[in-house]
Chain A
């Protein structure tokens, strides 16, 4: 079955200007529970390989090495935070259509007032090691 990488950035869709600590506690709870339910559902269906949230970009480091001298480690990246990866999941599904269906569920996670935040989710197919006849 094809595998897909689903990525979300630090971009809360239609609520991008409302930091989460301005949400009501029950809105945060509903948001978290939505992910929990989805995660459990995909784990049970056997489609989920990984579901990971990443720590804040402030903790990110960039490493460069020429293979001989000491690697250069710098803080960052610090571009516009909405363009930084916030979390990802890897799913193993029947088809691209199913991957898109899952991505749509992620995108519709509820925000303030229970409104779907419509967070953009990037769907990328993972390359395989299998080679056919050439």
Chain B
């Protein structure tokens, strides 16, 4: 079995896996609840409390015979309590009472429906991310707040606002039709949310790094699940491949003190070959699926880097072509910066600098620190130390990332000492 196919929640023999089990069950139980009751916000609150209760009881008494049924009963009871406490919800309470006794649990898994609901276009990306991690990922509000460095009250409010907004938008608990007009954009926003969660975890280097690495693992887990339910969607497989191929480099990406190490200087023996093999195999299976989407292109670039055992073995001309396609597809100016670097590696720094010169008038990038950083890097390659030094310092002043600032200042310092 390849890494990409490994189920995440098979083994439930010891309590160490209770948390995994709960997180796998959370979206399934929430799906059933929302189907029965219809009130996503209240059902989600009820489930959160049931999860807490389960964590306590299961640790003390061991796993129940039917964990999903247990959770469903606990959440239903909790929902009924919540509903009872509000007159306005009396009608819904009666509706719950009329439902068949839990135990006859339908076999369907609504996790996918939930995921699409949490990534609904009525929500901002930040809200989509928070709601997805809680409702689909089964993380507690406190865990999500820690991962994003915001106070718990702020995150709780963001989640509750998102739920209200969903309600107000009239979003229904149903999958968008696979052949419908909406499908591509709805799938795209789901993939974007998973990508954001992954990156948030991957790019973390600082203080609370442990919590944030978990975000990458969670994104990979959710993307694996999504691929299991949508095996025919090439971009889903490609996104999973991209995550694995990127995550493979994590051990070499930072030094012992959390400092960033650029790709060219990484100790490639520390890359995770198992992840690279899994990601490459996944990517190869998407080949021939027609016109490549943005994740397939990005995964293909990652695979070319991963394949090179030494930095100088990198197939830069092919990477230039892939960035070219990616730029045409996304129109994202940051892609041009990456292409400039690849072009410089393939044909020399002058070619890269020419490409950057064409960006000078581009307002989207005019004050972007990466434009300064890339230019400084290319000037560094040409041997123009003074211009490179000024560029690194300018870029360092403009970045809002502490590890990046540290890296850019270190580059400047290196030039100064020469």
| Complex Cα–Cα for A59 and B397 (A) | 8
Contact across chains for B413 and A23 when beta carbons are under 8 A apart: yes
CA distance A58 to B399 in the complex (A): 10
Contact present for B410 and A28 (CB under 8 Å): yes
* Inter-chain contacts of B258 with A (CB < 8 A): 32, 36
Contact of B207 among A29, A40, A59 (CB under 8 A): A40
A134 contacts B by Cβ under 8 Å? no
| B412 pairs with A21, CB closer than 8 A | yes
Collect the chain B residues with CB atoms within 8 Å of residue A120's CB.
Answer: none
Q: How large is the interface on B (under 10, 10 to 19, 20 to 34, 35 or more residues)?
A: 10 to 19
Q: Is the CB of B409 within 8 A of A29?
A: no
- Set B206, B257, B399, B413: member contacting A22, Cβ < 8 A: B413
A29 and chain B: residue at smallest CB distance: B257
Partner of B398, one of A23, A33, A40, A56: A56
B108 CB within 8 Å of chain A:
no
Give the interface residue-count category, chain A: 10 to 19
B400 close to A59 (CB less than 8 A): yes
8 Å CB interface, B366-418 against A? 392-393, 396-400, 402, 406, 409-410, 412-413, 416
B324 close to A (CB within 8 Å) = no
What is the bound-complex CA distance between A56 and B396, given in angstroms?
9
| Inter-chain contact B207/A21, CB cutoff 8 Å | no
Shortest beta-carbon distance, A15 to chain B, in Å? 14
- Alpha-carbon separation in the docked complex, A33 to B393 (Å): 22
Give bound CA distance, A40 to B209, whole Å: 12
Flag whether A104 is at the interface (Cβ < 8 A): no
Q: Write the nearest CB–CB distance from A39 to chain B, whole angstroms.
A: 6
Q: Which residues of B contact A33 (CB under 8 A)?
A: 257
Nearest CB of chain A from residue B372's CB, rounded to whole Å: 11
Q: How many angstroms between the C-alpha atoms of A58 and B257 in the bound complex?
A: 28
Q: How far is the CB of A11 from chain B (nearest CB, A)?
A: 16
Chain B residues whose CB sits within 8 angstroms of the CB of A53 once the complex forms? 402
B-facing residues in A1-59 (Cβ within 8 Å): 20-25, 28-29, 32-33, 36, 39-40, 43, 53, 55-56, 58-59
Instruction: Point out residues on B near A: beta carbons under 8 Å.
Output: 206-207, 257-259, 392-393, 396-400, 402, 406, 409-410, 412-413, 416
Residues of chain A whose beta carbon lies under 8 Å from any beta carbon of chain B: 20-25, 28-29, 32-33, 36, 39-40, 43, 53, 55-56, 58-59
- Return 22 A-B CB contacts under 8 Å, by A number: A21-B392, A21-B409, A21-B416, A22-B413, A24-B413, A28-B406, A28-B410, A28-B413, A29-B257, A32-B257, A32-B258, A33-B257, A36-B206, A36-B207, A43-B207, A53-B402, A55-B399, A56-B397, A56-B398, A58-B397, A58-B398, A59-B398
